[in-house]
């Protein structure tokens, strides 16, 4: 059955066929026909953001918390250029989002028309793929292909640029046919390599699982299989920032996060292990530290759906290209079929060593009765919210690392943070995207005051759509992480790293029509957090914390995993100029 | 090694040749990429090389299948084995890319480049240029009383050699197409 309709109508039909229920967007001249169609239907909910960057991060939050692709709609020119940061963020963290942008009519492209930008040119390096539509007859098929590309293989952001005349013109609607696409990434791992990994697990004395965001992207089944695998083998497991929740923080084999601000036991295990099994992570520089001293004694296995991730920075011995769910299914089948066991005595000794490292208690800090320590604030937030249906987003900086260290995640899709790109301003719109997808859940954005100000306009969105997001701001009146690096690396010259002329956050909340709470005394903290949780609406929580707290543990730039700094006492003269050039 | 009985960096063959023994020597590789001939596809390939800091020694592109709308891009690049591996897997990630073949690895292969060479001179030099062109099987495609334009086809090395010989004889301009290459046999 062929169906004739306008391009604008086709956009709505294609979104419906793809199962889209929510679009985050902002109207403008070049997308008016699509907005006209949005006005005339009730199947797709449009969330009006206050800035296009917010639309993209909200779509990311929606995608990350549901496993479905997020969708954003922006106008041409500035609408599209404002989307660039969000697209890059989604590319680095492999988040499936589909962005539709308006474009000037085809006959005006190249004439420097009003609000014209070369959107496909600008977004080419920051999308997984993008398309400029020249003919309404190809629009529907391209939109379906966009969803297919965004969600297949290693997920990522895609953009479809739709000129205004294409939206007005009539064409034939085509239904989705993902099997016809030539883009079909390999998902099944090589069985020989998988068997080799099982054989390695059987004889390893000091094995460790190093997991990442790929486990979460592979879907909830992957996390389930991972838990089965850890139970079957009894091997300690750590995770990157992006993978938190794929294994429960309460699990007995959980080491905590690894990397630059990872836990002592996790980093030491990575350094000393003899078998390192990377599942859906990518040996990012925040993880590896100094490459030539990274896990020097281990055989390395790497399971990843993207062949280009393998051997990119760390050469591996057992490469397995495939989807985590598929590979872990096969791995467990081989494990059972062979009646595999780990070397019980050796692994018990290894676990004993891990317990010793745990006893270092690397997350301990000097508590205070007069000022709120940021770590204490997060400990209390954890204690008071962990039993709730809770989702956490963050901004970027010290508070993000503390949140990763002090909050525990039991399930995947509960933790939304900007890992690869480190985008300040991510958390507020992301929390909105999460809350739209989970209207009854408790959604908290753990923020720093400087990051939070970067996309604070989205409070308007939260209020308009009655999204009760909680903005938990650890306010140290500093760009904390910048300040920390300046203290450690730049002779305590605190160049431009303080937040001056901060707004009164309580008044700001009230100005938006939200609730404001301020807390500066540790004794009042629990009551204040409860007040935030119990308030039925968006809250800005201004938590005034210790201003000069540093985030530990820390692997300084250019150092190895076993050269961690555990506290201020360790920092004297340890960072050399060779490390200072690294970020 | 350890008790694991796996040699580090062993080169056992798998679906992807992912276990190279990386060395630091720079190698020259000829890679062909079959792509959908859609707008911007060349920009994607070039953008990948620019964005990730890879070298392009030469690059040719033209549509090779008009009905299937496929183009073949032939890239000659130089890099360490690790970089070459990355180039291939990164090219494979580009959505409109159908096939990436490293001819240097999969070989033997045939490669050809075309150049047109303008040589300006009179007298003995002009005669000598003509004589050398015959040896190289270069054709004269244009002439004036004091210049020739030669057309020469061959490997890049042959064209380099021809250009070197023409330089003292009055080489004034050269235009080269870059390499086109295919695997031998079936």
Dump pLDDT digits (tens) for B101-122.
999 999 899 999 999 999 999 9
Residues of A in contact with B47 (CB under 8 A): 124-125
- What is the strand order of the sheet A515-519 is part of? A415-416, A390-394, A442-448, A470-475, A539-544, A515-519
Q: State whether residue B2 sits within 8 Å of chain A by CB.
A: yes
Catalytic residue list contains A52: yes
Please count the helices (runs of H) and the strands (runs of E) in chain A: 24, 20
Question: For residue range A12-55, what is the model confidence (pLDDT) as tens digits?
Answer: 999 999 999 999 999 999 999 999 999 999 999 999 999 999 99
What is the reported pLDDT for A558?
79
Which one is predicted more confidently, B85 or A559? Answer: B85
- Beta-carbon separation of B19 and A317 below 8 A: yes
Contacts 24+ apart (CB under 8 A), A495-501: A499/A449, A499/A450, A499/A453
Average pLDDT over chain A, rounded to whole?
A: 95
Task: Please report the sign of the dihedral spanned by the C-alpha atoms of residue A422, residue B47, residue A213, residue A261.
Answer: negative
Residue A166 banded pLDDT, cuts 50, 70, 90: very high
What is the reported pLDDT for A462?
98
Q: State whether residue A125 sits within 8 Å of chain B by CB.
A: yes
What is the Rg, in whole angstroms, of the alpha carbon atoms belonging to chain B? 21
What is the reported pLDDT for A420?
96
Catalytic residue list contains A39: no
Strand partners, A494: none
Question: For residue range A444-473, what is the model confidence (pLDDT) as tens digits?
Answer: 999 999 999 999 999 999 999 999 999 999
What is the reported pLDDT for B16?
42
Task: Please report the sign of the dihedral spanned by the C-alpha atoms of residue A194, residue A197, residue A203, residue A209.
Answer: negative
pLDDT > 70? residue A243: yes
Q: What percent of chain A has pLDDT over 70?
A: 97
Question: Rounded mean pLDDT of A285-298?
Answer: 90
Q: State whether residue A141 sits within 8 Å of chain B by CB.
A: no
Question: Rounded mean pLDDT of A320-327?
Answer: 98
What is the reported pLDDT for B2?
41
Cα distance between residue A445 and residue A429, in whole Å: 9
Q: What percent of chain A has pLDDT over 90?
A: 92
- Beta-carbon separation of A299 and B14 below 8 A: no
Cα distance between residue A568 and residue A487, in whole Å: 11
Question: Rounded mean pLDDT of A53-61?
Answer: 98
Closest-CA distance, B109 to chain A, in angstroms, reads: 25
Residue of B nearest to A124 (CA): B44
Smallest Cβ distance to A205: which of B3, B7, B92? B3
Name which of A114-118, A307-311, B15-19, B90-94 the model is least confident about. Answer: B15-19
Average pLDDT over chain B, rounded to whole?
A: 88
What is the reported pLDDT for A560?
87
- Beta-carbon separation of B3 and A128 below 8 A: no
Name which of A231-235, A292-296, A298-302 the model is least confident about. Answer: A292-296
Catalytic residue (choose from A9, A68, A128, A164): A164
Place of tokens 């004439």: A111
Closest-CA distance, B26 to chain A, in angstroms, reads: 17
Question: Rounded mean pLDDT of A537-562?
Answer: 93
What is the reported pLDDT for A368?
95
- Beta-carbon separation of B89 and A308 below 8 A: yes
Q: At a CB cut-off of 8 Å and minimum separation 6, what does B117 contact? A: B138, B149, B150, B151, B152, B162, B163, B166, B171, B173, B174
pLDDT > 50? residue A262: yes
Catalytic residue list contains A115: yes
Which of B13, B14, B41, B86 would best serve as a mutation to test chain A binding (most A beta carbons within 10 A)? B14
What is the reported pLDDT for A583?
64
- Dihedral in degrees, nearest 10, Cα atoms A315, A319, A323, A326: -150
- Beta-carbon separation of A121 and B19 below 8 A: no
Residues of B in contact with A317 (CB under 8 A): 6-10, 19
Q: What percent of chain B has pLDDT over 70?
A: 88
Question: Rounded mean pLDDT of A234-263?
Answer: 97
pLDDT > 90? residue B7: no
- Antiparallel, parallel or unpaired: β A207-211 and A170-173: unpaired
Catalytic residue list contains A481: yes
Residue of A nearest to B17 (CA): A319
Question: For residue range A366-419, what is the model confidence (pLDDT) as tens digits?
Answer: 999 999 999 999 999 999 999 999 999 999 999 999 999 999 999 999 999 999
Residue B9 banded pLDDT, cuts 50, 70, 90: very low
Catalytic residue list contains A457: no
What is the reported pLDDT for A569?
72
pLDDT > 80? residue A570: no
pLDDT > 60? residue B3: no
What is the reported pLDDT for A249?
97
pLDDT > 90? residue B21: no
Closest-CA distance, B32 to chain A, in angstroms, reads: 18
Strand partners, A211: A239, A279
Q: State whether residue B17 sits within 8 Å of chain A by CB.
A: no
Q: At a CB cut-off of 8 Å and minimum separation 6, what does A352 contact? A: none
- Beta-carbon separation of B8 and A299 below 8 A: yes
Residue A435 banded pLDDT, cuts 50, 70, 90: very high
Q: State whether residue A92 sits within 8 Å of chain B by CB.
A: no
- Beta-carbon separation of B16 and A315 below 8 A: no
Question: Rounded mean pLDDT of A87-100?
Answer: 98
Place of tokens 């030099």: B125
Question: For residue range A492-531, what is the model confidence (pLDDT) as tens digits?
Answer: 999 999 999 999 999 999 999 999 999 999 999 999 999 9
Q: Are A443 and A391 in contact (CB under 8 A)?
A: yes
Closest-CA distance, B81 to chain A, in angstroms, reads: 11
Question: Rounded mean pLDDT of A344-352?
Answer: 96
pLDDT > 70? residue B67: yes
- Beta-carbon separation of A204 and B3 below 8 A: yes
What is the reported pLDDT for A557?
78
A540 CB-side CA count, 13 A: 27
- Is residue B10 helix, strand or coil? coil
Question: Rounded mean pLDDT of A530-547?
Answer: 98
Q: Are A568 and A423 in contact (CB under 8 A)?
A: no
Q: State whether residue A306 sits within 8 Å of chain B by CB.
A: yes
Residue of B nearest to A308 (CA): B89
- Beta-carbon separation of A308 and B92 below 8 A: yes
CA A373 to chain centre: 26
């Amino acid at each position: 059955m062929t169906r004739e309709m306008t391009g604008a109508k086709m956009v709505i039909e294609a979104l419906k066929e793809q199962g889209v229920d929510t679009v985050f967007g902002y109207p403008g001249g070049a997308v008016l026909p699509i907005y006209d169609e949005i006005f005339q239907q009730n199947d797709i909910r449009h969330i009006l953001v206050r800035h296009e960057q917010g639309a993209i991060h909200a779509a990311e939050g929606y995608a990350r918390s549901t496993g479905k692709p997020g969708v954003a709609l922006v106008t041409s020119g500035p609408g599209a250029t404002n989307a660039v940061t969000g697209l890059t963020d989604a590319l680095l963290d492999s988040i499936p989002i589909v962005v539709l942008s308006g474009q000037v009519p085809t006959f005006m492209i190249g004439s420097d028309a009003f609000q014209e930008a070369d959107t496909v040119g600008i977004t080419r390096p920051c999308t997984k793929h993008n398309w400029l539509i020249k003919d309404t007859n190809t629009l529907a098929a391209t939109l379906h292909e966009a969803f297919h590309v965004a969600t297949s293989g290693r997920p990522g952001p895609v953009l479809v640029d739709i000129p205004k005349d294409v939206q007005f013109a009539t064409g034939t609607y085509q239904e989705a046919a993902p099997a016809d696409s030539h883009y079909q990434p390999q998902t099944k791992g090589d069985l020989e390599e998988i068997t080799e990994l099982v054989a390695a697990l059987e004889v390893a004395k000091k094995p460790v699982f190093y997991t990442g965001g790929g486990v979460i992207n592979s879907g909830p089944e992957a996390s389930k299989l991972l838990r089965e695998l850890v139970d079957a083998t009894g091997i300690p497991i750590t995770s990157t920032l992006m993978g938190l929740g794929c294994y429960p923080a309460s699990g007995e084999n959980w080491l905590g996060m690894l990397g630059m601000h990872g836990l002592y036991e996790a980093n030491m295990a990575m350094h000393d292990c003899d078998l390192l099994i990377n599942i859906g992570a990518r040996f990012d520089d925040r993880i590896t530290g100094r490459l030539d001293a990274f896990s020097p004694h281990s055989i390395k296995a790497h399971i990843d759906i993207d062949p280009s991730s393998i051997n990119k920075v760390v050469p591996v011995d057992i490469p397995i290209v495939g989807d985590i769910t598929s590979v872990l299914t096969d791995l467990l089948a081989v494990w059972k079929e062979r009646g595999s066991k780990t070397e019980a005595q050796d692994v018990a000794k290894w676990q004993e060593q891990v317990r010793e490292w745990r006893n270092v208690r690397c997350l301990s800090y000097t508590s205070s009765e007069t000022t709120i320590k940021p770590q204490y604030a997060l400990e209390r937030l954890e204690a008071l919210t962990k039993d709730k249906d809770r989702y956490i987003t963050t901004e970027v900086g010290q508070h993000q690392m503390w949140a990763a260290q002090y909050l525990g995640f039991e399930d995947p899709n509960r933790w939304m943070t900007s890992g690869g790109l480190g985008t300040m301003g991510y958390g507020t719109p992301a929390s909105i995207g999460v809350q739209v997808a989970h209207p009854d859940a408790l959604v908290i954005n753990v923020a720093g005051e400087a990051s939070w100000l970067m996309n604070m306009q989205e409070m308007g969105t939260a209020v308009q759509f009655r999204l009760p997001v909680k903005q938990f701001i650890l306010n140290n009146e500093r760009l904390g992480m910048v300040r920390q690096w300046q203290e450690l690396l730049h002779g305590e010259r605190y160049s431009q790293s303080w937040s001056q002329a901060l707004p009164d956050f309580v008044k700001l909340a009230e100005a938006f029509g939200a609730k404001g709470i301020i807390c500066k005394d540790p004794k009042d903290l629990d009551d204040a957090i409860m007040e935030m949780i119990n308030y039925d609406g968006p809250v800005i929580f201004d938590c005034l914390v210790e201003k000069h707290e540093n985030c530990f543990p820390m692997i300084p730039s250019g150092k190895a995993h076993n050269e961690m700094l555990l506290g201020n006492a360790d920092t004297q003269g340890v960072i050399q100029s060779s490390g200072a050039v690294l970020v | 090694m350890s008790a694991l009985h796996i040699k580090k960096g062993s080169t056992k063959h798998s679906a992807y040749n992912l276990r190279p023994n990386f060395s630091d020597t720079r190698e020259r590789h000829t890679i062909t990429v079959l792509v959908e001939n859609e707008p911007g596809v060349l920009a994607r390939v070039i953008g990948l090389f620019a964005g990730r800091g890879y070298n392009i020694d030469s690059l040719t592109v033209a549509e090779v299948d008009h009905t299937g709308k496929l183009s073949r891009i032939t890239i000659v690049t130089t890099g360490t084995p690790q970089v070459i591996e990355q180039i291939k897997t990164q090219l494979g990630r580009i959505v409109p890319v159908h096939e990436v073949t490293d001819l240097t690895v999969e070989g033997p292969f045939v490669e050809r480049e075309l150049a047109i060479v303008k040589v300006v001179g009179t007298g003995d030099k002009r005669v000598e240029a003509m004589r050398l062109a015959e040896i190289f099987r270069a054709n004269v495609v244009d002439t004036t009383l004091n210049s020739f334009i030669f057309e020469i086809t061959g490997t890049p090395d042959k064209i380099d050699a021809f250009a070197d010989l023409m330089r003292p004889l009055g080489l004034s301009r050269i235009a080269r197409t870059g390499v086109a290459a295919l695997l031998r046999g079936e």
